[in-house]
Amino acid sequence: MKLMPAQIEQFHREGYLFFPGLFSRAEMEVLHAEVPKIYAEQRPEIVREKGSDAVRTSFAAHTYNPAFAKLARHPRLVEPAMQILGEEVYMHQFKINGKQAFDGDVWQWHQDYGTWYADDDMPAPRALNVSIFLDDVNEFNGPLYFIPGSHREGRLEAGHDTSTTSYPLWTIDKETITTLVARGGIVAPTGPAGSMLMFHCNLVHGSPSNMSPWHRVIVYLSLCAVGNHIRRFKRPGYIAHRDFRPIRCLPDDCLLRDDIHAELQTKETA
């Protein structure tokens, strides 16, 4: 998979690219079938919603689950990221965000780079997110909200929100959001399971709660240019990885092949 120049230009202008239905239903089913197994595990990587058993986010499944280990090396995800960053990439963070039916809570407006800078000392915003919808995403089950063009503002002042939800986040104040939205509006890309969404690590985004009866699981690969690896190891290794080796991609059909096995990482390299 190779991005065209117009797509790269669009990424730099808008801060994101959307590819509805890039993966097949069959490929998504391979991953979808693994999610309940991951959620059933009792490990520190699994963060639950405030006042509920619903899983909010689950880190580093690619280090212990064979199917997600393949996804973490998938060329349809990794190659466009390398193309945009102009360099080999490593996996800074890998998470499965399960915005569960009825219980899935809000993610306040934020930039991912805000957290990676403040907590992990990532030198520059030379990183991006690649997300894959494991479920159909519609306007009711907690789509991602983007403010187009907001990444061009650079890193914005943020406050550490440790109370709204169960996961602490550096969030952006109301006045700044109002200004950015007046300029760029809000978009909420929706599409079938298998859709891919790439976005700049400084793109301001959030997502609403999910009061619908439809689960909404999205996987995020946070890919960072190898030369831009983090310098501070304050957060656990399963949240901010310390394995800065470039990702080696598997074949494009890896998710559907039983003869391909991705290396699982040990706890130390995760």
State the angle between helix axes of 75-85 and 5-14 in degrees (0 to 180), rounded to the nearest 10.
Answer: 70
d(CA 53, CA 135): 20
Query: What residues pair up with 57 in beta bridges, in sequence order?
Result: 47, 97
Nearer Cβ to a second copy (178/266): 178
Nearer Cβ to a second copy (64/145): 145
260: how many CB neighbours lie within 10 A of its CB?
14
Report, in Å, the least distance between residue 29 CB and a second copy.
Answer: 21
Helix (H, G, I), strand (E, B) or coil at 185: coil
Residue of 134, 16, 11 whose CA lies nearest to 71 = 134
Nearer Cβ to a second copy (100/228): 100
Report, in Å, the least distance between residue 102 CB and a second copy.
Answer: 5
Residue 40 phi/psi, 5-degree rounding, is -75, -15
Residue 231 and residue 1 in contact, taking contact as beta carbons nearer than 8 Å: no
Nearer Cβ to a second copy (98/208): 208
Contact positions toward a second copy, by CB under 8 A? 101-102, 106, 108-109, 139-140, 145, 174, 177-178, 181-182, 186, 188, 206, 208-209, 211-213
Helix (H) or strand (E) holding 160: strand 159-161
Q: Which residues lie below 8 Å from residue 212, measured CB to CB, with a gap of 6+?
A: 101, 102, 138, 140, 141, 142
Report, in Å, the least distance between residue 140 CB and a second copy.
Answer: 5
Nearer Cβ to a second copy (59/133): 133
Nearer Cβ to a second copy (159/251): 159
